[in-house]
Amino acid sequence: MIVIACPGQGSQTPGFLNEWLELRGAQEFIADASERSGVDLATHGTVSDADTIRDTAVAQPLIVAASLLAWRELAARTSLAGVGVAGHSVGEYAAAAAAGVLTDGDALALVGTRGRAMAEAAGRERTGMAAVVGGVEADVIAKIQAHGLTPANRNGGGQTVAAGSPEALAALAADAPRGARVIPLQVAGAFHTDYMASAVPTLAAAAAGVSVADPDRPLWTNSDGTLVTEGPKFLELLVSQIAHPVRWDACMASFQEAGITGLIELAPAGALTGIAKRALKGVPTVAVKTPADLDAAIQLIADSAN
């Protein structure tokens, strides 16, 4: 089975949308996505600088819109029957739309609300995140918790993200787990922790107004890596996810159990294929960063079908 992965926050880079907007219908799609999300995605995806697109309220809808644009273009060029999908953190909204749980428009509207609510929550108190790379996972998690931090993203492939106060993160860096490095991340707050709890009611209220369907293809959840069977339940998980850890490691374990034969990461790609190369050894990957990468993705899907 081919799994198509939708990336999370931090995968965006200045100007990455330029080549995508040259595709037929792309400008119209991004214009509609901008209206739905309340963010000028064309400007932020083409000319805004790194600091601007790092803003949570901007980054989240920008990433989801780019993933959906890449998904639409891939679907127009090849059959995606039988392909599974999953998203990392905010990428779950793109995955929800790809699996038919949400419409593109509703996914983008919810992500706009999510980004603004999380940005507001992050502004209430100084917090941050740091990637812990290497080491023994059990030891890494124990050390993170010993410093009063949350293992907010358990990404697999030797990467765990710690989240909490700047002081605790600094203490962790000075007391790194054996064989591990602690790398500060350029994010606005401690996402996927209790620090984001104030954003949950805002997103829940917005989610109450959207239509939802059961997935029409295999779809895995960040909650515990299991397959989603009920759309309404997945929507509940999307809402609560912002204050709960991401278990991408569990998703990848489920991919293996399902017999994954390749992983394609949608734009703006790179992070999830990097993790997959370490955690899913021998599984071919394609990072669809630009439209030119679609040919390799199509070839991987064709190879898997043979």
Q: Which residues are annotated as catalytic?
A: 89, 192
Select from 14, 6, 228 the least CA-distant residue to 108: 6
Select from 293, 263, 304, 303 the least CA-distant residue to 70: 293
Nearest-angstrom CA–CA distance, 75 and 25: 14
| Secondary structure E strands in 88-179 | 128-134, 150-156, 159-164
* Contact by Cβ (8 Å): 39, 112: yes
Q: Write out the H or E segment, with its range, that includes residue 108.
A: helix 104-122
Nearest-angstrom CA–CA distance, 67 and 96: 11
3-class SS of residue 285: strand
